[in-house]
Amino acid sequence: MSAPVRTRRALTAAALVAVAALGGAGVALAAPAGPPPASGIDPVRAGLPLFGTAQRPATGDTAPTTVAPRATTTSRPPATSRATSPQTTTPRTTTTPGTTTTTVPPATTPTARPEGIATTPCTATARACVDLASRTAWLLDGDRIVRGPVAMQHGGSEYPTPTGTFTVQWKAEQYTSREFGTPMPYSVFFAPGGVAFHEGRQDTPSAGCVKLVLDDAKAWYSYLQVGDEVQVH
């Protein structure tokens, strides 16, 4: 073997060791650009393996392949729902084509106390009315005064006349108090404890009863019936 051949083989072996050290990094050994010398080196080079992954670009009329960019899809953020304002219930408006109707809920009316009878402290449900402060009494028929005001005498501090709404319990034309032994003509009993309208003196307090002069006591006895309402204020 000639010296040039041995030299080329040594260089080739060194190159192979260098390529192996690179660990397959993709380095390609390029073939000499010129034609092979006539010294017999071609068979040696032809038997060498081709290392590396680099390939020469193909020649010819083939147009390069153009890769279209991927379409990017942009997702819109979800629509944000608007906050719903609180509904109002008063008034309610209904709109139809060409017509607008507004409905106002009915106003709440408080329950009114029955109107009092003019010049008396009592209401129209009473058939007999008594005002202790003014020492007067009335007979009533709905909102109409039948008799009164008339003078009367009520109980003192020891036996006060009770106040409130009562009903006639029973009547006695001639009656005498069992507790005090006092006559009580034309008695109309309306409150517990024997409290009644009756005829009596006007210059002394009673033991809780409502004392009237004779004519008024007769009128009370005749007009009031069992179950009639009596109001004492």
Mean pLDDT, residues 170-179 taken together: 94
Q: What digits encode the pLDDT tens for the residues 4-33?
A: 656 677 677 666 656 555 554 443 444 444
Give the phi and the psi of residue 176 in degrees, each rounded to 5.
Answer: -125, 135
Residue type, 218: K
pLDDT at residue number 16:
67
Between 193 and 63, the higher pLDDT residue: 193
Query: Whose CA is closest to 208, among 220, 194, 225, 218?
Result: 194
Mean pLDDT, residues 82-92 taken together: 48
Query: Whose CA is closest to 137, among 204, 199, 45?
Result: 199
Residues 6+ apart with CB under 8 A from 113: 123
Residues 6+ apart with CB under 8 A from 209: 154, 155, 161, 184, 194, 195, 196, 197, 198, 200
Which of 97-101, 126-130, 155-159, 183-187 shows the lowest mean pLDDT across its residues?
A: 97-101
Percent of the chain at pLDDT exceeding 90: 47
Mean pLDDT, residues 116-145 taken together: 94
pLDDT at residue number 121:
96
CA distance 218 to 227: 18
Facing residues of 166 across strands? 230
For the whole model, what pTM was predicted? 0.52
Give the phi and the psi of residue 218 in degrees, each rounded to 5.
Answer: -65, -40
pLDDT at residue number 148:
95
CA distance 203 to 225: 28
Q: What is the mean pLDDT of the chain?
A: 73
pLDDT at residue number 179:
87
Mean pLDDT, residues 207-232 taken together: 98
